[in-house]
Amino acid sequence: MPLVTGTRLGAYEILAVIGAGGMGEVYRARDTKLGRDVAIKVLPEAFAADPDRLARFKREAQVLAALNHPNIAAIYGLEESGGASAIVMELVEGPTLADRLSQGAMPLDEALPIAHQIAEALEAAHEQGVMHRDLKPANIKVRDDGVVKVLDFGLAKAFAGDATDPNVTNSPTMSLAATRAGVILGTAAYMSPEQARGKAVDKRTDIWAFGCVLFEMLTGRRAFEGDEIADILGAIMRAEPDWSLLPAGTPPPIRRLLRRCLAKDRKNRLPEIGTARLEIDDTAAQLSDGAVAAVPHLAAHSRERLAWISAAAAVVALIAALATAIGLYTQRLPEETRAYRSSILPPPDTFIVSPTAVTDAGRMALSPNGQHLAFVATASDGKQTLWVRPLNEGSARPLNGTDGASSPFWSPDSRFLAFFADGKLKRLDVAGGPAVTLSDAAGPAVGGTWNRDDIILFALNGSPLQRVSVSGGKPVAATVLDTQAGETSHWSPLFLPDARHFLYFAVTGGAGGTQGRGVYVGSLDSNEKTLVFDGGSNTQYAAGYLFFVRDATLMAQPFDANQRELTGNAIPLAEQLYVGGTARLRGVFSVSESGVIAFQTGAGNIQSRLIWRDRAGKPLSQVGDAAEYGEVELSPDGTQAAVTILDGTRRTFDIWLYDVARGLRTRLTSDPADDMEATWSPDGSRIVFVSRRKGIQDIYEKPVGGQDEVVLLEDKSYNKWLGTWSRDGRFLLFSKADPVVTRIDTWLLPLFGDRKPRPYLQTTFTNNFAKFSPNGRWVVYRSDESGRAEIYVASFPNSEGKRLISTAGGAFPRWSRDGREIFYVSASTLMAATVNGEGAAFEVGAVRSLFNLPATPSRISNYQGWRYDVSIDSQRFLVETPVEQATSPPMTLLVNWTAGLKK
């Protein structure tokens, strides 16, 4: 169980989370006896509960603690307290080598000193009979003074004990980290051939890993790469690194050293790491003296180039063969063809994991004929675009006019795509042409479906299903919410083959949050509905099977589409499916009528950091640790920040309070439901927030440091989102969704008298993100009344004297503390508008851009987010910034999935 700040583990007080790896969670702690900070790695509960394994670990740890070298992070001891077992280690500040390599290759004069120190650490350990066994950039730290520290020496063996397991995926680092995206691939990439085969290892295994690390430092690329574990291990055992990636100026001695370190037969491998250290020292000295010319040997380079060209030609031929196979498959698949899987990586510099909540599952859609995959990718600048990849080609292309797209779905003939963007439902011809608006669709989209009669059903969170013609028009309700049963939404519609009946699932409230009440069959011709199964998930239908998600596992169950009922047992197809949204009800998968399945596993790495930046965007300092944040809100005096953070165990969000100066955090809420959108009272003594405790987003209040929580507003009809508290403490702004007219309006909650809410801005458009001005006379808000989102200011309390603030779109507005500026985001740029709200009329002055904000992915925000807040003097901005090495797990294609059912 994760430890929280302030927890005592023997003599050690937990200060903050540092990270989590395959062999346990790591914390910064204070040694109260010696007055120093240490790193504490808490062993997994399953490990610590095994007496035999724990005893073996203790014996091995005693040997590791004897290592004493300036380039090896020291082990101080073992600690057992309150049922938890932990290893106490030297706390090493500074980035890991993996952090540095995420920025690209290193020049020779930077790489060789680091390699020298790594070699020294290995040499010292090997002399004591200790091997590392898991050397990789993530286990190497580089301090600000240039000193290298190798971490986790020998811990892999300590965890594994003396037993030999021939299955490489059962190594401690890999098996215990199996749910963390990138950990398995990162560990496998540095394994020696003998290690990958599960054979006994010796110090030459560390020499192989050293060669892999040195190659990556010089090239910025791993020596052995692949989309899946099998691909990487296959490359390790059969392929050579791409030597042509080495910089042209790499000295011949370093080239020879790399080849000897990475010899697959360990008999031909460098026998001692000390030899590598000497070679590096000699090369560095000769380079310093100018005795070694940085000249690539042309003949050798030519041979390497020819080898690379031949390998590239072979890869192209293989891709072409696979593309042909998929193309032929989509036309006619022989019954005896085996099922197989392949991976599709996102386009460069994009991620597939959604920055939105309930729309997470709508990130991909296979065309009915199985020949194209449409998906939404978000670039590093926050631009969210719809892409299409033909499955018989090797790359995807973006579709023009799809900025901000979500939840794509195909026409029955696989020619057109429909999608949601800018509060509208749109469609476009995949072959080319502009996007055409079909209808309003304000609010988070939760799926759509298109039948052969050109009728579209679509779902918006908080609403029944909506029906509209492909030619466009005003949508009408296609289902009726059963409010007596607690239904709040109908999600994920899917037309059945008769084009009149459709599947959907009903969302209802319940203890702990949103739940799926059941999957139903509805009809275009009546309000009748038939229950298919209890619970909830998005569904797909193809080849006589119904596909859905149960406990993050993709299931297929025989389904009679004519009788509209299940006829057999459910069969698992893929585990650890990515499940989107705060409700965790919608899996990321798509099924074509031709039998191809696309899905995404894992949760992706979407951590971010809280970074102070100046008005030019220059990073100044960091507050706290990396985490999966939701929102950030500074207290009125600027000394604290209320943040929403994902609980890694429950996978729900809680509100924490950061001491901005010290970077330490304390928990405010701990309910099993999602708590989010914290807003401070004017005096900083209380916080209001949104929670799904009753199945709908209601508003709660809690004293800072208090225990009791008081419900401020309970309205089970609509979801609500918070604005701000008025300076005099009398009113609270919030937005709520109206499911009848599919829009979002802004309301006022008086915090006196009968506390009866009343509308502040109630229009035929969506308006939200409302915030009071410091003097309480004005409200800034976002509205799409012009056809796109813009920032406006209106008077309070009568919403008159409206003024347009933004000039080219805007969202996420905030006031400066003195009321003289309004900040907002346009595209991905933070803007500042000079304003004057002291007179009778609101005055707007110059609007200027400050700096580009990084888009921050989150599973709780209902809108793509750029989350930030402003310091009291308006000279700094606390900005949520994604961790640079954040990646998106690949999409997986499962072809001829029915062959797997025969086994």
User: Active-site residues: which are they?
Assistant: 134
849 token code pair: 């851009």
User: Taking the CB of residue 658, how many other CB atoms lie within 10 A of it?
Assistant: 24
DSSP string, 366-386: E-TTSSEEEEEEEETTS-EEE
Report the DSSP beta bridge partners of residue 387: 375, 398
**3 state SS of 433:** coil
How many whole angstroms separate alpha carbon 547 and alpha carbon 529?
A: 19
- Whether the CB-CB separation of 789 and 807 falls below 8 Å is answered with no
- Whether the CB-CB separation of 596 and 344 falls below 8 Å is answered with no
Nearest to 876 by CA among 612, 685, 578: 612
Nearest-5° Cα angle at 436, 432 to 440: 150
Report the DSSP beta bridge partners of residue 88: 40, 77
290 burial class (0-12, 13-18, 19+ CB within 10 angstroms)?
A: exposed
- In the numeric block, the tokens 């199945």 are attached to 695
Instruction: Read off the DSSP letter of residue 483.
Output: G
Alpha carbon 575 to chain centroid, angstroms: 18
Alpha carbon 845 to chain centroid, angstroms: 39
How many whole angstroms separate alpha carbon 532 and alpha carbon 685?
A: 49
Alpha carbon 434 to chain centroid, angstroms: 31
Phi, psi of 433 (to 5 degrees): 120, 165
Strand order through the sheet with 821-826? 811-815, 821-826, 829-836, 843-852
Characterize the bridge pairing of strands 372-379 and 350-351: antiparallel
17-38 burial, b at 16+ Cβ within 10 Å, e below that, comes to bbebbbbbbbbbbbbeeeeebb
User: Taking the CB of residue 807, how many other CB atoms lie within 10 A of it?
Assistant: 13
Nearest-5° Cα angle at 294, 293 to 298: 105
753 burial class (0-12, 13-18, 19+ CB within 10 angstroms)?
A: exposed
User: Taking the CB of residue 144, how many other CB atoms lie within 10 A of it?
Assistant: 8
How many whole angstroms separate alpha carbon 853 and alpha carbon 879?
A: 8
Which ranges constitute the DSSP H helices of 66-154?
97-101, 108-127
Nearest-5° Cα angle at 768, 630 to 492: 70
- Whether the CB-CB separation of 610 and 626 falls below 8 Å is answered with no
Sign of CA pseudo-dihedral 507, 509, 514, 517: negative
DSSP string, 295-343: ---HHHHHHHHHHHHHHHHHHHHHHHHHHHHHHHHHH---TTPPPEEEE
